[in-house]
């Protein structure tokens, strides 16, 4: 096991049979799981996002109790919570109550079969729950522990990534890959896809936030990345109901979750008028450190980052720039109490090479000499 652990098994159970953080018990009064109550209400014609959010804010994990309210009182209850068009929505629920619940139970079973959990408002990761306008639930495919176990570093950027942007993104991921860090991005084409692929290559666990329902694959080119994220112990998360298609405003809202979960946001490439600028502004609002990359032709997103109080600019293609990012990633991992080792990637590669090659003793002697020389250089540098 390397320092990232056996990622497919992390966080799946708790000691002494206790539920994991994201497992919320059914409401004792109704026995109806939060997931079923949420899905049923989400399918009620006319309720809409505003009404559904109002009900969840009011009832939280006890949302199932709403389904025990008699038809004669349902409109008054919806009006009390300030659900728009309460009478019309109450009539809809009363008329189709059995069908809504049956469909919701079938959908909840289908999601569970596809390794999708539903996290209620009381069990959300603390960093997300504390946000202004925090999500009230999350649909999560894969291992939800990836959302809870920090640190998280968001690597984000434009869909129109340039060759230098690809290099910059890969350099950022290779830098953070030395430490027990979880990468956060948005599973879009461009920088997001490059970041996820590089993280998977380097053994880094991934979290991807979606701007649409959890059961929708978009863009189609990222389907393989998504499957690998889940297969390697990561998580794909969405606050949108199953079947909700993507809209521009939803991707903006998705960006706030990337910034909110992150301990550090790295904006690899983009323009100050593009979508990544929203992530930068959210990060500044939440007082998350933001790193921007500079190189000739990198775009003007760095100009925006340079004006933010939490912003910092580096040239990722220089030794000094890489070392700056390395120090930030290592510090983030240290702050969570992790054991950090800056040469962990070298250690893993060396172990693989040693397995594959018939190494004579003189090769190992030469390696030892190389390490001794490095130590000598470090000692000399300290002495100066």
pLDDT, position 13: 34
What is the per-residue pLDDT for 62? 95
Predicted local distance difference test score (pLDDT) of residue 33 = 95
Structure confidence by residue, pLDDT tens digits, 59-82: 999 999 999 999 999 999 999 999
Q: Report the topology of domain 127-335.
A: Rossmann fold (3.40.50)
Distance CA 6, CA 281 (A): 35
pLDDT at 114: 96
pLDDT of res. 11: 35
Q: With a cut of 50, which residues of the chain have pLDDT below it?
A: 1-29, 383-384
Overall pTM > 0.85: yes
Tokens of 337: 């109490």
Q: Residue 12: its pLDDT value, please? A: 33
Sequence ranges of the domains in the chain: 20-113, 127-335, 344-383
């Amino acid at each position: 096991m390397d320092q990232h652990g056996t990622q497919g098994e992390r966080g799946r159970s708790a000691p002494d049979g206790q539920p994991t953080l994201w497992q919320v018990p059914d409401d004792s009064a109704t026995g109806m799981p939060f997931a079923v109550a949420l899905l049923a209400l989400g399918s009620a014609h006319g309720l809409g996002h505003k009404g559904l959010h109002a009900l969840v804010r009011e009832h939280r994990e006890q949302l199932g109790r709403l389904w025990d309210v008699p038809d004669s009182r349902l409109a008054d209850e919806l009006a009390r919570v300030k659900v728009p068009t309460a009478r019309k929505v109450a009539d809809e629920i009363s008329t189709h109550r059995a069908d809504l619940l049956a469909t919701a139970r079938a959908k909840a079973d289908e999601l569970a079969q596809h390794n999708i959990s539903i996290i209620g408002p009381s069990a959300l990761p603390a960093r997300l729950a504390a946000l202004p306008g925090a999500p009230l639930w999350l649909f999560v495919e894969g291992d939800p522990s990836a959302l809870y176990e920090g640190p998280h570093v968001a690597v984000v950027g434009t869909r129109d990534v340039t060759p230098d942007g690809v290099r910059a993104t890969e350099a950022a991921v290779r830098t953070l890959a030395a430490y027990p860090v979880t990468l956060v991005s948005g599973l879009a084409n461009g920088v997001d896809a490059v970041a996820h692929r590089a993280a998977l290559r380097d053994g880094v666990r991934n979290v991807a936030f979606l701007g649409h329902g959890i059961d929708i694959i978009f863009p189609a080119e990222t389907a393989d990345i998504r499957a690998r994220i889940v297969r390697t112990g990561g998580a794909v998360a969405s606050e949108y109901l199953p079947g909700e298609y993507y809209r521009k405003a939803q991707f903006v809202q998705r960006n706030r979750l990337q910034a909110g979960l992150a301990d550090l946001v790295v904006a690899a490439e983009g323009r100050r008028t593009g979508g990544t600028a929203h992530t930068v502004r959210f990060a500044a609002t939440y007082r998350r450190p933001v790193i921007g990359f500079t190189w000739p032709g990198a775009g003007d997103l760095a100009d925006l980052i340079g004006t933010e109080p939490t912003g910092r600019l580096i040239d990722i293609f220089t030794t000094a720039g890489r070392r700056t990012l390395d120090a930030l990633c290592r510090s983030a991992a240290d702050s969570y109490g992790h054991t950090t080792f800056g040469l962990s990637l070298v250690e893993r590669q060396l172990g693989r090479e040693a397995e594959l090659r018939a190494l004579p003793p003189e090769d190992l002697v030469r390696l030892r000499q190389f390490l001794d020389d490095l130590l000598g250089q470090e000692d000399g540098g300290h002495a100066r």
